[in-house]
Amino acid sequence: MTASNEHLGPAPHAYAFDIPLAKVKSAPIAEFDRYWNGKRRQGRLPGRADIDPSELRTLLPNIVLLDLEPEPFRVRIRLVGTKIVQFRGDNTGKYLDQLVTMDPGRRDHYIAEMRVVAARARPAFACDQVTTRFGAVHEIYAGIWPLATDGSKTDKLVVIEDYGQLRVWQLKPDEDA
């Protein structure tokens, strides 16, 4: 879920999905991956009840929690961290396929990624680049992790978006620093 919002501007290179975690230059994503793996028991996926927000205080601003509906496959935004709200706005309660702030083709691509993570029942990682209004290029990263109430069938996803040192004012000329 990176660089799809009008605020993020065009990406100067192709978006890469399902890259190895070793190529992700993001401490928050690596931290949540360790946390998520620590919550797995006997190869089963953790559920939402296993995720304790008090254990993730520093990550909460970068987290998006998504509910999945299996047939037809739909993704509803349950919770949006404050850092994500700064870059994308607050879309809590909305379905991903209804968002108008995303290019429709890009939106469909992200929904397909969510479907892949749900079906494979394993995390996936992505990298994109954005160009600021000053011409600087910044890498941004995302991770998507499956959650399953029953330990096997994915019914929620946790997304962490890491904008690194990027600030909204660098992208949106109409906002003050």
pLDDT in tens, 111-125: 999 999 999 999 999
* Winning range, highest mean pLDDT, from 72-86, 94-108, 157-171: 72-86
How high is the pLDDT of residue 9? 47
**Does residue 156 belong to any structural domain of this protein?**
yes
How high is the pLDDT of residue 89? 83
On the question of pLDDT at 57 being above 90, the answer is yes
Count other Cβ atoms within 10 Å, centred on residue 164. Answer: 13
**What distance separates the 2 farthest-apart alpha carbons in the chain?**
51
**Does residue 171 belong to any structural domain of this protein?**
no
Domain span at residue 46 reads: 6-52+60-161
Kindly report whether the peptide bond that precedes residue 72 is cis, defined as omega within 30 degrees of 0. yes
**Does residue 66 belong to any structural domain of this protein?**
yes
**Does residue 39 belong to any structural domain of this protein?**
yes
Task: Say if strands 74-80 and 156-162 run parallel, antiparallel, or are unpaired.
Answer: unpaired
How high is the pLDDT of residue 150? 96
Helix (H, G, I), strand (E, B) or coil at 17: strand
**Does residue 176 belong to any structural domain of this protein?**
no
Q: Is the pLDDT higher at 128 or at 79? A: 79
How high is the pLDDT of residue 12? 45
DSSP symbol at 101: S
Number of domain units in the chain = 1
**Does residue 92 belong to any structural domain of this protein?**
yes
How high is the pLDDT of residue 173? 54
**Does residue 172 belong to any structural domain of this protein?**
no
CATH number of the domain residue 92 falls in:
3.30.450.20
Q: Is the pLDDT higher at 118 or at 11? A: 118
Angstrom distance (rounded) from CA 95 to CA 91 = 8
| DSSP string computed for 27-62 | HHHHHHHHHHHHH-BTTBPP-GGG--GGG-TTTGGG
On the question of pLDDT at 2 being above 70, the answer is no
**Does residue 166 belong to any structural domain of this protein?**
no
Q: Which of 16-20, 29-33, 83-87 has the lowest mean pLDDT?
A: 83-87
